Amino acid sequence: MTLCYHRFPLNLIELSMAGKHLTGKLAVILHADVVGSTLLVQRDEQKAHRRIQDSFQRFAQTISRYHGQLRELRGDALLAEFDRASDAVSAALAFQSEQLAYNTRIDDEIRPVVRIGVALGEVIIADNTITGEGVVLAQRLEQRSEPGGLCITPAIREALPKRLPFELENLGAQDLKGFDEPVGIYRVALKSGAAVPAPVRDKMRGSAQRPHKSRIALAALLLVISTAAAYGYLSWQAQREAVRPGAMAPLAAEKPSIAVLPFANISGDPDQEYFADGITEDLTTDLSRISGLFVVARNSAFSYKGGSVDIRTVARELGVRYVLEGSVRRIGERIRINAQLIDGDSGGHLWAERFDGAIADVFALQDHVNRKIVAALEVSLTPADEKTFDRVETTSPEAYDLMLRGIERYNTFTSDAIAESRVLFERAAAIDPGYARAYANIALTHATDVNFFWSQDREESIRLGLEFASKAVELDDSIPQIYLTRSILYLSQRQHQTAIEAAQRTIEVHPNYADGYATLGFIASFSGEFETGLKALDQAMRINPQGTGIYLSVKGRILFLMGKYGAALPLLEESVARNPALDRTHLNLAAIYAELGRAEDAEWSVAEARAINPDISLAKERRESIYRRESDIEHFVAALRKAGVPE
């Protein structure tokens, strides 16, 4: 097995260069899904897709009117963020009322009925992916809602002004999956004869928010939705093709292509979720090292976690021919892995099998699954491919368990979680001093601290990161994340050529590793090697089609530096639409607008960047620049000056 990750190192670099800490924030989260969507699709696929599309288009418009921000559209689910509880609840009730009227006009059984949950909780936002307890809680509430209904938490109830015409029914404290303590739930409806409160003009936004910018954001959203029907549900694939033509060329003609969906945890214990995720990641990593296979990155496949999916739709959205799905049951020291390989074109099963064994045999079980896939797809193995099988990275089940627990903590992605994951990785290394993967993970935690400015001693963290990376490479020089970690740390020291060489080594040891290509593209963008950067980013997008928000930002910045402003503009506008929380992307977009003579748009983008990071100035840009070429930073600063960034 090899080291597998979790979250894009590129995100770490991009955010860190902004000087902004990525910490949890408190947010009002709305989660919605279509009840019984699978049955609707089975009754009439095209009609169901069209009506789900129409429903979510109207819901997105309602969310925008109530000052909400759409965060994710995936299949039959929608996720949005609000600043105020009243806006979220009003938007939910307004949509449900409209949807009821919409469904009464339908004279068949293909009626999309939506249920909604609204919760207040801590979330983390990166690359248009919003995660955290608040998201999970909103989803759990949605699952407790009646069809066409809305449920909220006590915190949301307390935040609602008493004057609003809402009826609240206390359903009591209930046990929710993934939460240790029972959670209070309230059902919300409009009072009889009352109207949904109209959107309230936000005085805080009144002078800053320009209507045409809202229309731009909404237009981008509607473009996503309108292009989705041909791909089933709400496919992002068509949008990606519109932004970067040709980047996602068909893969099946080159080599068999596959996505490994998150394996379900059927242990009856939610605390074993980390173990099922870890098995999935390891299978993905090992398959991706086989030269005769194309494997979609873990991040893209995990975007489907927790929802009902249509395999053919998933295959189309990810650009693959085959999909692997399954489940993991762990009881004590025994493991059962159920896996099935599905043809994404027909939806038919190529094979399904059960693999039983002890925790000590986990690597053998995974290798068994991998060999079955290789045989089914008639992939010819090279001598190097053969070496990927039958490898035992540790003989200690306890060390492996600590490794998976550490990865689960790392994925939470706060400064405290990174520190906690390091402790778990260190314990794994202490149990098995020959565990290369443990040392590689320790190194990455130090690199993360450096890039997010979470370290109390930056130079010491750089030293420790490089030291543990060296320990890992002495034990196993085929772990790509070792070189990726080195490249990140070298860039932080402005050692551009050394950083590029480390990033290139990442790809050499793992040619199907999306993060390796993305990091090479990022480093090349600061080193003046623009063609190398563009080529690397296109390959990263191909392997990781669902995680391209940051990729688009970096690609847009490269095109800006090359003077190709018109080509850069749609990439950066799309990147901002996918993840408006990155001040760097707003600054890059401001520079483009300035060079194109769109002064008002440039000033607006600067205002949004400074709302996220008030310390932005031209002096700071020069002082903290990691550009190798003086001409590049001067080009950028000159454009920012035109855009209105203060000296």
Hey, which residues does 352 pair with through a beta bridge? 340
| Spatial separation of the C-alpha atoms in residues 184 and 153, rounded to whole Å | 6
CA triplet 492, 503, 297: central angle to 5 degrees?
110
Q: Per-residue pLDDT for 288 more than 90?
A: no
The better pLDDT of the pair 299, 120 is held by: 120
What's the one-letter identity of residue 280? T
The three-state DSSP-derived secondary structure of 75-108 is CCEEEEEECCHHHHHHHHHHHHHHHHHHHHCCCC
Hey, which residues does 325 pair with through a beta bridge? 340
**Looking at residue 582, what is its pLDDT?**
73
Of 36-50, 246-260, 287-301, where does mean pLDDT reach its minimum? 246-260
**What does DSSP assign to residue 393?**
S
Instruction: Give 209's pLDDT tier (boundaries 50, 70, 90).
Output: very low
Domain architecture of the chain: domains with CATH? 23-195+222-238 (3.30.70.1230), 257-388 (3.40.50.10610), 402-643 (1.25.40.10)
Q: Can you tell me the mean pLDDT for 301-312?
A: 78
**Looking at residue 201, what is its pLDDT?**
54
Distance of CA 411 to the CA centre of its chain: 11
Q: Is 139 left (phi over 0), alpha (psi -120 to 50) or beta?
A: alpha
CA distance readout (Å), 586 to 25, 316, 580, 603: 20, 31, 8, 10
pLDDT, one tens digit per residue, over 543-563 is: 888 766 788 889 999 999 999
Hey, which residues does 358 pair with through a beta bridge? 334
Instruction: Give 115's pLDDT tier (boundaries 50, 70, 90).
Output: very high
Q: What is the largest CA-CA distance in the chain?
A: 74
Please say whether the beta carbons of 74 and 232 come within 8 A.
Answer: no
DSSP H/E element including 174: strand 166-174
**Looking at residue 113, what is its pLDDT?**
93
Two tokens, residue 114: 């939506």
| Spatial separation of the C-alpha atoms in residues 260 and 287, rounded to whole Å | 9
Two tokens, residue 376: 């089914």
Please say whether the beta carbons of 236 and 317 come within 8 A.
Answer: yes
The better pLDDT of the pair 224, 601 is held by: 601
Please say whether the beta carbons of 286 and 324 come within 8 A.
Answer: no
Hey, which residues does 182 pair with through a beta bridge? none
Q: Per-residue pLDDT for 11 more than 60?
A: no
The three-state DSSP-derived secondary structure of 119-154 is EEEEEEEECCEEECHHHHHHHHHHHHCCCCCEEECH
| Contact partners, residue 170, CB within 8 Å, separation at least 6 | 184, 186
Dihedrals phi, psi of 595, to nearest 5 degrees: -70, -25
| Spatial separation of the C-alpha atoms in residues 603 and 407, rounded to whole Å | 41
| Spatial separation of the C-alpha atoms in residues 163 and 174, rounded to whole Å | 28
**Looking at residue 548, what is its pLDDT?**
63
DSSP H/E element including 171: strand 166-174
pLDDT, one tens digit per residue, over 60-79 is: 889 988 989 888 877 778 99
The better pLDDT of the pair 178, 341 is held by: 341
| Contact partners, residue 597, CB within 8 Å, separation at least 6 | none
Q: Is 505 exposed, middle or buried (0-12, 13-18, 19+ CB in 10 A)?
A: buried
CB count in 10 Å sphere of residue 146? 12
The better pLDDT of the pair 271, 413 is held by: 271
End-to-end CA distance of the chain: 51
Among 528, 444, 449, which Cα is nearest to 483's?
444
Q: Is 265 exposed, middle or buried (0-12, 13-18, 19+ CB in 10 A)?
A: buried
Q: Can you tell me the mean pLDDT for 225-247?
A: 31
The secondary structure of 530-578 as a DSSP string is HHHHHHHHHHHHHH-TT--HHHHHHHHHHHHHTT-HHHHHHHHHHHHHH
Q: Per-residue pLDDT for 421 more than 70?
A: yes
Select the highest-mean-pLDDT range: 136-140, 415-419, 546-550: 136-140
Dihedrals phi, psi of 512, to nearest 5 degrees: -110, 25
Dihedrals phi, psi of 562, to nearest 5 degrees: -85, 0
Q: Per-residue pLDDT for 227 more than 70?
A: no
Q: Per-residue pLDDT for 105 more than 70?
A: yes
Query: Percentage of the chain with pLDDT > 90?
Result: 33
Q: Per-residue pLDDT for 464 more than 70?
A: yes
Two tokens, residue 83: 């600043």
**Looking at residue 467, what is its pLDDT?**
95
Q: Per-residue pLDDT for 162 more than 90?
A: no
Q: Per-residue pLDDT for 251 more than 80?
A: no
Query: Percentage of the chain with pLDDT > 70?
Result: 85
Select the highest-mean-pLDDT range: 147-156, 195-204, 290-299: 147-156
Q: Which residues of 112-128 are buried (b: 16+ CB within 10 A; e: fewer)?
A: bbbbbbbbbbbbbbbbb
| Spatial separation of the C-alpha atoms in residues 539 and 457, rounded to whole Å | 35
Please say whether the beta carbons of 130 and 171 come within 8 A.
Answer: no
Please say whether the beta carbons of 31 and 73 come within 8 A.
Answer: no
pTM score > 0.85 for this model?
A: no
**What does DSSP assign to residue 164?**
S
Of 15-19, 44-48, 251-255, where does mean pLDDT reach its minimum? 15-19
Select the highest-mean-pLDDT range: 4-8, 135-139, 163-167, 280-284: 135-139
Task: Look over the chain and give the mean of its residue pLDDT values, rounded to a whole number.
Answer: 81
Among 294, 318, 300, which Cα is nearest to 232's?
318
Q: Which residues of 418-438 are buried (b: 16+ CB within 10 A; e: fewer)?
A: bebbbebbbbbbebbeebbbb
Radius of gyration of the chain (CA): 24
